[in-house]
A and B are shown apart, each in its own frame.
Chain A
Amino acid sequence: MFDEMMISGGAIVASAARAGAAIAVRLPWYRSLPLSCITAVSLRLDGDAVEEERLGFRLYGSEHRIGDLAGLHDVFWFVLDEAEVVVDLGASQLGGSHEVELELGLRIPYPEFGTRTFTQVARCSKTLDLEEVLA
């Protein structure tokens, strides 16, 4: 749901030694969900898959490893708020236009039919002008 609005912007944050991209994201659902319901986050930058170890998820000032999201059932992502998928770019300098493809898997915690699991996968591709912001 609202897949086309899932990527809402992005920026590159560069410091002296490292660069990271922060892709602004919207929750692709109509209501808030706890972070434990995010079952998968995958990102492609210019067609290349970014390894999960180089990805992070930032919300309300806290940054989490993708693998840690499963345990965060007490942290609710309010449906109107933006989160960020952060990418460690290492020593690369990456300002300019880039193709970003994001896929987010959601476990909807209230399956309509008994105990059958209800998973939604949202996909969004956008060309982003990643503005460089100095850290």
Chain B
Amino acid sequence: MTGNVRLGVTLYSFNAEYYSYRYSVEECMKAAASLGPDQGVEIVGPQMIRGFPRLSSEFEALFKRCVAEHGLRPTAYGAYSDDQRITGRALSYEEALDYMTAQLRAAKTLGFPVVRVQPREVVLADLVPVAEKLGLHLGMEIHAPMKIEEMGELIERVEKISSPSLGFVPDCGIFCHSCADIYVNRFLELGVNQQVVDRILELWTERATPEQLHDEIERLGGDDLAQVMGIESFVYFGHSEPATLERIMPYIRHVHGKFFGIDESGTDSAVRFSEVVDVLQRGGFDGYISCEYEGHHWTTKRSALEQVRTLQTFLRTRLGG
């Protein structure tokens, strides 16, 4: 099968630079463009759009100008259902739908073909017709600790709904062979005992449950910080097999190339990118791997742009480019 796997970047990769005012939105876009021609660009709506969940005319003008001037390709808009934004109660049907619809309209206006959403009832039950009308694809993100192997029911539901406007956005953080070095080093630096660190990594390999992890850390005398390290092993580094992408291939229009930090291998220290790229290519995936650097969660000392550039070099080689 011939697909067309292309490369892009999620501007969330520049989180640290953006937050500290070192990169404006325009500078984030320029950085993305410097990665190569026709670079894909993805944004997180509430990170960059003042007026979220609606689109401001200022952001629309800025974004469109940057896309045109720097030769970028809008790939996906990161939306949020924010179910727990109202204190003390769940959202009403109208509130949930209106909030998402505003974001879909923003995505459409900005030229994004895909909207990343969370797997929620409002998406499955109500939003698909809205997306169909707008000509958008809703990609439900598969993020650690989710595993494609355990998503049988949801996959069947998507197959039953059978709409070109409904599918999945796999986040590559679900396909890890290890916990990331950058994460381990940070917790060691913060003072977590080496013995506790080693045990957390062992338990990760053994696929211990969060409860087992918690109890074992407690038994070893680990403090709150050690418990945070335990939780993070679970929520950042997933155990799904790349081959399971075959099961949902017809429903994937966009992939998050989530990664944490490049090591001497020239690729991420945790994510199984080689296998993921091979499965996507064999499966005829026609879309973008949007590289999403998240090492800034543990340290802001690395250049996000250089991290993404290095990963893209690796991916391009693997893709045979």
- Cα(A73)–Cα(B80), bound, Å: 15
What is the interface of chain A mostly: helix, strand, loop, or mixed? loop
Known: A109-B84, A111-B84, A112-B143. A2 touches B46 (CB 8 A): no
Is residue B154 within 8 Å, beta carbon to beta carbon, of the partner chain?
no
Is residue A133 within 8 Å, beta carbon to beta carbon, of the partner chain?
no
Is residue A49 within 8 Å, beta carbon to beta carbon, of the partner chain?
no
For A34, list chain B residues within 8 Å (CB). 82, 85
For B235, list chain A residues within 8 Å (CB). 112
Residue of A whose beta carbon sits closest to that of B15: A30
A79 to chain B, nearest CB (A): 6
- Cα(A37)–Cα(B80), bound, Å: 14
B12/A109 in contact, CB under 8 A:
no
For B87, give its contact among A30, A33, A71, A110 (CB under 8 Å).
A71
Q: Per-residue 0/1 for A1-36: is the Cβ within 8 Å of any B Cβ (1 yes, 0 no)?
A: 110010000000000000000000000001111101
B50/A70 in contact, CB under 8 A:
no
A79/B84 in contact, CB under 8 A:
no
- Cα(A115)–Cα(B118), bound, Å: 12
For B87, list chain A residues within 8 Å (CB). 36, 70-71, 73, 107
Q: Per-residue 0/1 for B83-122: is the Cβ within 8 Å of any A Cβ (1 yes, 0 no)?
A: 1111110000000000000000000000000000010000
- Cα(A56)–Cα(B19), bound, Å: 24
- Cα(A65)–Cα(B81), bound, Å: 27
Most A CB atoms within 10 A — which of B19, B80, B81, B82?
A: B19
Is residue B297 within 8 Å, beta carbon to beta carbon, of the partner chain?
yes
Known: A32-B46, A79-B46. A109 touches B85 (CB 8 A): yes
Is residue B195 within 8 Å, beta carbon to beta carbon, of the partner chain?
no
For B47, give its contact among A30, A111, A113 (CB under 8 Å).
A30
- Cα(A111)–Cα(B81), bound, Å: 10
Known: A2-B19, A76-B52, A79-B19. A31 touches B47 (CB 8 A): yes
Known: A71-B87, A113-B145. A5 touches B118 (CB 8 A): no
Residue of B whose beta carbon sits closest to that of A76: B52
B21/A80 in contact, CB under 8 A:
yes
Known: A110-B80, A112-B143. A31 touches B46 (CB 8 A): yes
Is residue A117 within 8 Å, beta carbon to beta carbon, of the partner chain?
yes
Known: A5-B19, A79-B19. A110 touches B83 (CB 8 A): yes
Known: A30-B15, A76-B52. A117 touches B84 (CB 8 A): yes
- Cα(A112)–Cα(B146), bound, Å: 9
A32/B12 in contact, CB under 8 A:
no
Residue of B whose beta carbon sits closest to that of A32: B46
B20/A110 in contact, CB under 8 A:
no
For B51, list chain A residues within 8 Å (CB). 76
For A80, list chain B residues within 8 Å (CB). 18-19, 21, 50
- Cα(A2)–Cα(B16), bound, Å: 9
A37/B85 in contact, CB under 8 A:
yes
A32/B83 in contact, CB under 8 A:
no
Residue of B whose beta carbon sits closest to that of A2: B19
A121 to chain B, nearest CB (A): 11
Is residue B249 within 8 Å, beta carbon to beta carbon, of the partner chain?
no
- Cα(A111)–Cα(B90), bound, Å: 13
Residue of B whose beta carbon sits closest to that of A30: B15
Residue of A whose beta carbon sits closest to that of B88: A70
> In chain B between 57 and 76, which residues have their CB closer than 8 angstroms to a CB of chain A?
none
A-B contact pairs, 20 of them (CB 8 A): A5-B19, A30-B12, A31-B47, A32-B46, A32-B47, A34-B85, A36-B86, A73-B86, A76-B46, A79-B19, A79-B46, A79-B47, A80-B18, A107-B84, A107-B87, A110-B82, A110-B84, A112-B143, A112-B235, A117-B84
